[in-house]
Structure 1
Amino acid sequence: MRTFAGRPPIIRIANGTFYRHHPNGGAASSQQHPNPPLFTNLSFELPSQSAEPHNWCIVGPSLSGKSTFLEVLRGQHLSFPPKARSFPYLATEHVPHRLRTPHRAIQYVGFDASGTGGGLGPATSTYLSQRYESRREKTDFSLRDFLIGNTQLNPSEVSLEDAIDQKLLERIVVDLRLDTLLDLPVAFLSNGQGRRARIARALLTSPEVLLLDEPFMGLDPPTVAGLSPLLRSLAEKASPRLVLSVRPQDPLPEWITHLVYLRTDCQVGSMGEKETVLEGLGKYVRGVWKGGLTEDETLPVHALAEMGRTLTERGIEGEGLADELGASLSGIEASQKSTANGTSEVLGEPLVEMNGCRVKYGNKVALGNWSEERDGQTVTGLHWTVRRGERWGVFGPNGSGKTTIVSLLCSDHPQTYSLPIKLFGRSRLPEPGSGQLPLTFWDIQSRVGHSSPEIHQHMPRSLTIRQVLESAWADTFRSKPKLDEAATSQVEATLKWFAHELNPAFSSHKLGTSSSAGQVEEDTLAWANDYMFGELSFSAQRILLFLRAIVKHSDIIVLDEAFSGMDDAVRDKCMLFLAHGEEKMCAPSKGSRTGDEVVANPAAESGNVTMTGLSDQQALICISHVKEEVPDFVREWICLPEANTGLPARFGRLDGPLRTDAKRWREIWGI
């Protein structure tokens, strides 16, 4: 690489090792919260300018430390030796005074709902329905205010140095499809819209470096197609310099030139030019599958199977390593594909009935802004029924109303009272002559298991792992759960099954013969009381919230982007648990191209199973923008239209799993 004379790198790391806490913090402290070295003897440079493109992407499976690596680049975590990490370019005359510190010059945008990743302000609301109330608080800033930084109750006059470039603002809001949302309160934005707003805000600060932690997660295909070219144009101008992180199964933007691939122990597995890294990983995968190499447990082959595809302006192109070698479905995928769970043709009783729902905020219609012909009559709004035993997929662009639908069926939305909705055969308001009492908010919450980005945002970070799981039986996140012996058994069985993924101190020597099944030789689940939700990685938080949604065996399970943030191996394990509970498990199939093999749990043969899979008495509603994150037994689907187009929602039925046939996915999206 040729660098420009007199221009030192923005970030320089020379043989540095990093720690979350001081390594001499004491034995007692390290036993309770292990403090292993991160990225031992790391050397890395991000040039300020170079003759050739130099765009980095950090890739790794769950628990590999992608977010931690980005934090290290920004100056977080302790460096040993201290001078191993430096930011020489920031001290030069080429950098404005306001950007002379890493905290200002290097912006990080993550989507972990922790409030530290460039969020839309702190998560201060105490209940989910607050986001749907009328705008009346002084702190209900508009998207325009948020983007230009006008979020102070008594704002001072903005200095010229901090003024927003209006041309840049106009371009970014158009490219990120935010131009029609500028006057909305940020609390009204959907999850995908909020992600785009956070990226836009970071771009408008004109940083020297922008760290984007899984920027495409949770975005619909049209938005991804628009965001990648915008990022490419920024990368080509090196304004700002971009560093992304993605999961192994995510396609790599074609403008990425350099990769860091992380092992599962927070160490670097491979680093360098993209083609060189991919070639080396491909040789490793082929060597393991052909039996010549022993698989490194910190570099699982299964996680690399989909690596190598490219995100272009024309869509996703190329093949993953598994496709190149003609590998078939993994054992987990095959098990899901063949399961008959939830495919019964016998229609159960209605659990959700929406008969013409139309949600408005003032003059803005958020859902149901259409009319259509049904049975010879013109009807308006959303008409949708969900019955016991049905497995639904809900799709549509960001802002089309998917989150609003979830809020209606979970009764978080205040308009639930006034709309023609029945839940579990009953209305929220008294019905004259029915002889039935109206449903209460608590009745509904007790019968719906729900995982979503909104739940993630509001889950108290100070709850322990066990408390988060037990809160499925509580009225609120912090209230005392109503647990009986069966509920306690379900919680403990689930914690044991996912100890590998949830316990931050889990080490490989504790694994039994089936590591991916989560069974360990521990006599205690003390770790579930020792670690708080906020101490877990983003992936582990997602897993815990998914398990919270299903552990109670509620009548309705709502999984709203529940698998986003997980790598494919962890995601598939969660889907297997959703389908079969403890009855099926994964057994490593070494040297096989099909990954882990799904086998019957020996405990199931003796009847010693506490957690079972989804039953035909339950309904599933899954929302996702990624076909691989839709369980293979989903058959019914609804696709909402782009907001305010006047087009009606479309319905259909799948003849097989989404992830195995791109044609089915295109049919849903109408492309």
Structure 2
Amino acid sequence: MRFPSAPPPIIRIANGTFYRQQPSAVSGAPNPALFNNLSFELPAQSKTPHNWCVVGPSLSGKTTFLQILRGQHLSFPPTARSFPYLSTDAVPHRLKAPARAIQYVGFDSNGGGGLGPATSTYLSARYESRREITDFSLRDFLLGNMELNPSTLPGDEGVDQKLFERVVVDLRLESLLDLPVTFLSNGQGRRARIARALLTSPEVLLLDEPFMGLDPPTVAALSPILGSLAEKTSPRLVLGARPQDPLPEWVTHLVYLRTDAQIGAMGAKETVMDGLRKYVGMVRNNDAAEDETLPVHALSEMGKTLTNDGIAGEGLAEDFLTSIPYDSIEKGEASGADATDGALGEVLVEMSGCRVQYGDKVALGNWTEVRDGQPTSGLHWSVRRGERWAVFGPNGSGKTTIVSLLCSDHPQTYSLPIRLFGRSRLPEPGSGARPLTFWDIQSRIGHSSPEIQQHMPRNLTTRQVLESAWADTFRSKPKLDDVATEQVAATLKWFEPELNPGFRKEMQPAGPKGRAGEPLAWASDYMFGGLSFSAQRILLFLRAIIKHPDIVVLDEAFGGMDEAVRDKCMLFLAFGEAKMYAPVSSRRRGSPTGVMVVASPVAKSGRVKVQGLSDQQALICISHVKEEVPDCVREWVCLPESSTSQPARFGRLDGPLRTDSKRWSEIWGVGRV
């Protein structure tokens, strides 16, 4: 076919409305219309760049929008969505189908985010020395050799070797090619998924929050790589992002989504940003009422740019809606959330020279340093009751390994010099104390991580996931008493807007009286696998803290949440039900904040069931984003690259990390421009 002018678009949507299920089907499950009368085109060729980014807060439908572009979900009318360019002679036969031509890479566990059959079936499998026949290497994964008896289809040419070498180098995967994919850290796994998608040479690559979980140096390196692909339109890129995520400078067009899964604004980036900036200004000056589906607080950090030199620019409303640091709300009131300024308790975690090694590869502790005048190797680290720690380091530096050692998922915990709660995993001659069991550890540590999200059974209900904090395993029967049952109900009620897909504010009874009488039936109706990525992260965060364990481990627990939801979780971590956010009643020009922290109705009535962190608990947080580190964190350790022999660095913060970029720069050496 010859084109007298420009070829037709790859994706064309003309006044289409989409549904997850057939609208006429008889079902009790909610089935709202998605993106009513949507019109969108992604050109195959263009004189000017068309690099799109879909931006929206939690539950706005970013992933759903990307899925619609790929051909998922029902279109009404059916002819509203088409892929005309894929029918032309310019597209090879193997890419005629949208499912092949348009690749999606997401980082949830419901598709697009898995590593295939090589993904382990239980948490500790990735750390074991014995390899199974299905433990394929990263090279196998990238080449698509993930079957024991592979077969090829006619026309399947495999992966181009030159493309393979370039992608592997660009994404810094050379040294990992012979490792089983189960050995990869979260960040390494994300790079591997992007590489695999690129090696299929798709026409379009949909990247859902591609920078989530990556350390700052990797983000700085990956953005230009994606930018070069976008410049060559090989493939065409469409990103998904949260409002607070800095937008790569090569993005030219935006789709901003409302909280009701509809389009808020769409078009050229500057046009969309100007419209949002005007909207924020009108709300700030009381010239317009705030649209509940377009909350201004979600736009507070929108507008920052990710450049080759760092993060540039300011958010649309940073001077208007800046969250209050939790440890400065009322002097002395946050002592439970920031106990490091007072007397510290017993040692809960003690690592005395931990070095984790698989054959010739050292995953943690690959250094020697002088301590007390004597050379010593490995990680020396202790955590006391009441301390608030953050663990930083590049992808692959051993952060997840530390978590596995703490939570007893790592087999080497039996042979390493580690004491948890003052006890060893093995019998100690002459001590008279029994060794620490796996069940002892599980009952005293609350843990949220991408691994937990991956392995949590998809058919557990929302309530069952939360109740499993009191169970020995995900599926075993929880040991709930009346207090625990009340805490579960109170937590579900507190986070119903974020966890209940069918929640509508106008349907809720006014005032606090509905708390005791509502059955919370929705929590037993919705399955974990049917929740959004953000809702899953919220639920697992709550599962980690609701039991008030001795140690709370939050490994990238806030990734995937927008700013408002993240801050609500942070406040709940610090105060439980006792505090809540409330809008400032008078929004004057130049007002420093648009929200404030106030005592909640249940606190005023003395009916608080769930408290925040206490000085009897320790917190260990892992994150690559300073805004996702709780304000109460004061102690930090930064692990080195695993290939270096530099020791871990320790430090102490003099205030909340997210309120001062200088503190972040001291840790990473990556600042704003």
Task: Please indicate the TM-score interval, normalised by the length of the shorter structure.
Answer: over 0.9
The corresponding residue for 2:602 is 603
CA contact (8 A) 1:123 1:457 kept: no
Q: Deviations over 1:51-87 (max 9, x none)?
A: 0000000000000000000000000000000000000
Q: How does 1:245-260 map to 2 (within 5 A)?
A: 245-260=240-255
1:377-414 CA-partner distances (Å, limit 9, x unpaired): 11100000000000000000000000000000001000
Alpha-carbon shift at residue 485 of structure 1 (Å): 0.8
CA separation in 2, counterparts of 1:47 and 1:181?
Answer: 36
Structure 1 equivalent of residue 323 of structure 2? 330
AA matched with 2:487: Q
> d(CA) in 2 for partners of 1:165 and 1:573?
47
Taking a change above 3 Å as real, the CA distance of residues 393 and 587 of structure 1, as seen in their structure-2 partners, is: same
Structure 1 residue 166: deviation in Å? 1.5
- How has the CA–CA distance of structure 1 residues 37 and 143 changed in structure 2, closer, same or farther, with 3 Å as cutoff? same
Tell me if the contact between 2:327 and 2:632 (Cα under 8 Å) persists in the aligned partners: no
User: Residue 107 of structure 1 aligns with which residue?
Assistant: 103
**1:119-141 Cα distance to aligned partner (Å, 9 max, x none):** 21148644211111124211100
Specify whether residues 50 and 521 from structure 1 end up closer, same or farther in structure 2 by C-alpha distance, changes over 3 A only.
Answer: farther
CA contact (8 A) 1:350 1:387 kept: yes
Correspondent of 1:43 among 39, 45, 48: 39
- Pairwise mapping of residues 57-68 of structure 1 onto structure 2 (< 5 A)? 57-68=53-64
- For residues 166-177 of structure 1, the aligned pairs below 5 Å read 166-177=161-172
Query: Shift of the alpha carbon at 1:572?
Result: 0.1
Task: Report what 1:634 is aligned to.
Answer: 633
Kept after mapping to 1: 8 A contact 2:119/2:182:
no
Quote the Cα distance in structure 1 between the aligned partners of 2:625 and 2:235. 28
CA–CA separation in structure 1 for the residues paired with 2:515 and 2:260: 18
Whichever residue aligns with residue 232 of structure 1, its letter is G
What's 1:83 paired with?
Answer: 79
Q: Which residue number corresponds to residue 22 of structure 1?
A: 22
SS in 1 for 2:352: strand
The gaps in structure 2 that reach 5 residues or longer are: none
Give 1:152 deviation, angstroms.
1.1
Deviations 1:93-122 (A, max 9, x none): 0000000000000000000122x1142114
- Residue in 1 that maps onto 2:660: 661
For the 8 Å contact 2:117–2:134, the answer to whether it is kept is no
Q: Which amino acid aligns with 2:273?
A: L
Question: Where does 1:332-351 land on structure 2 (aligned, <5 Å)?
Answer: 339-340=334-335, 341-343=337-339, 344-351=341-348
1:301–1:380 distance in 2 versus 1, CA, 3 Å: same
Q: How does 1:149-188 map to 2 (within 5 A)?
A: 149-156=144-151, 161-188=156-183
Letter in 1 for 2:243: P
1:311 to 306, 325, 345: 306
Higher deviation after alignment, 630-639 or 595-604? 595-604
- 1:438 and 2:438 equivalent? no
Q: What is the alpha-carbon root mean square deviation over aligned residues? A: 1.9
Q: 1:468 to 1:123 in 2, by over 3 A?
A: farther
Compared CA separation, residues 118 and 166, structure 1 to 2 (3 A): farther
Q: State which drifts further: 79-88 or 341-350.
A: 341-350
Indicate whether 1:96 and 2:105 are aligned: no
Residue 507, structure 1, aligned to residue 504, structure 2: yes
Distance 1:262 1:123, change over 3 A: farther
Distance in 2, Cα, partners of 1:205 & 1:336:
52
Equivalent residue for 1:407? 404
2:207 to 176, 188, 212: 212
TM-score relative to the length of structure 1: 0.96
On the 8 A contact 1:402/1:640 being kept in 2, the answer is yes
Distance 1:522 1:663 in 2: 49
Asked whether 1:524 is paired with 2:523, we answer no
CA contact (8 A) 1:14 1:84 kept: yes
Match of 1:555 among 550, 555, 579: 550
| Pair 1:568-2:563 in alignment | yes
Q: Distance in 2 between matches of 1:428 and 1:520?
A: 43
Q: Which amino acid aligns with 2:600?
A: N
The Cα of 1:564 is off from its aligned counterpart by 0.2
Q: Is the 8 A contact 1:464 1:531 kept in 2?
A: yes
Aligned equivalent of 1:396, options 379, 389, 393: 393
Q: How does 1:123-134 map to 2 (within 5 A)?
A: 125-134=120-129
Given that residues 168 and 174 in structure 2 are in contact (C-alpha distance below 8 angstroms), is that contact kept between their aligned partners in structure 1?
yes
- Work out the CA distance in 2 between the residues paired with 1:283 and 1:102: 38
Residues 1:336 and 1:440: Cα distance change in structure 2 (over 3 Å): farther
Structure 2: which amino acid aligns with 1:203? Answer: L
Task: Return the offset for 1:333.
Answer: 5.7
Residue deviations 1:522-547 (CA, integer Å, cap 9, x gap): 72200000000011110000000000
Q: Are 2:487 and 2:609, in contact at CA under 8 Å, matched by a contact in 1?
A: yes
**Partner SS for 1:558:** strand
Indicate if the aligned counterparts of 1:336 and 1:633 stay in contact, CA closer than 8 A: no
Is the contact between residue 512 and residue 520 of structure 1 (CA under 8 Å) also seen in structure 2?
Answer: no
Give the superposition deviation at 1:585. Answer: 1.1
CA contact (8 A) 1:15 1:84 kept: yes
Deviation at 1:335, TM superposition (A): 5.5
Aligned amino acid, residue 637 of structure 1: W
**Alignment correspondent of 1:646:** 645
User: 2:261 maps to what in 1?
Assistant: 266
Whole-angstrom CA distance in 2 between matches of 1:303 and 1:328 = 9
One-letter identity of the residue aligned with 2:7: R
Give, in whole Å, the separation in 2 of the partners of 1:493 and 1:520. Answer: 8
In structure 1, C-alpha distance between the alignment counterparts of 2:176 and 2:44, rounded to whole Å: 35
Distance 1:118 1:409, change over 3 A: closer
* CA shift in 2, pair 1:256/1:109, >3 Å: same
Name the SS for the 2:569 alignment partner.
helix
CA drift at 1:502: 0.3
The structural deviation recorded for 1:342 is 2.3
Instruction: Tell me how far apart the structure 2 counterparts of residues 139 and 4 of structure 1 sit (CA, whole Å).
Output: 51
User: Are 1:612 and 2:605 matched, yes or no?
Assistant: no
Deviation digits for residues 198-253 of structure 1, max 9, x if unmatched? 00000000000000000000000011011101100100010100000100000000
Tell me what 1:584 maps to: 579
Which residue number in structure 1 is paired with residue 287 of structure 2? 292
Task: Give unmatched runs, 5+ long, in structure 1.
Answer: none
The letter of the residue matching 2:474 is F
Identity of aligned residues (%): 74
SS of the aligned residue for 2:658 comes to coil
Pick from 194, 198, 204: which aligns with 1:203? 198
Q: Which amino acid is the alignment partner of residue 323 of structure 2? A: S
What SS is found at the alignment partner of 2:317?
helix
Residue 337 of structure 1 contacts residue 633 of structure 1 at CA under 8 Å; is this kept in 2? no
Distance in 2 between residues matched to 1:518 and 1:575, nearest whole Å = 25
Asked if the contact 1:336/1:579 (under 8 Å) is kept, the reply is no
- SS across alignment from 1:147: helix
When residues 588 and 158 of structure 1 are mapped into structure 2, their CA distance, relative to the original with a 3 A threshold, is same
User: Shift of residue 347 of structure 1?
Assistant: 1.8
State how far apart, in whole Å, the 2-side matches of 1:590 and 1:235 are. Answer: 45
Q: Distance in 1 between matches of 2:537 and 2:296?
A: 23
Cα distance in 2, alignment partners of residues 125 and 86 from structure 1: 38
**Matching of residues 424-435 of structure 1 within 5 Å:** 424-435=421-432
Structure 1 counterpart of 2:273: 278
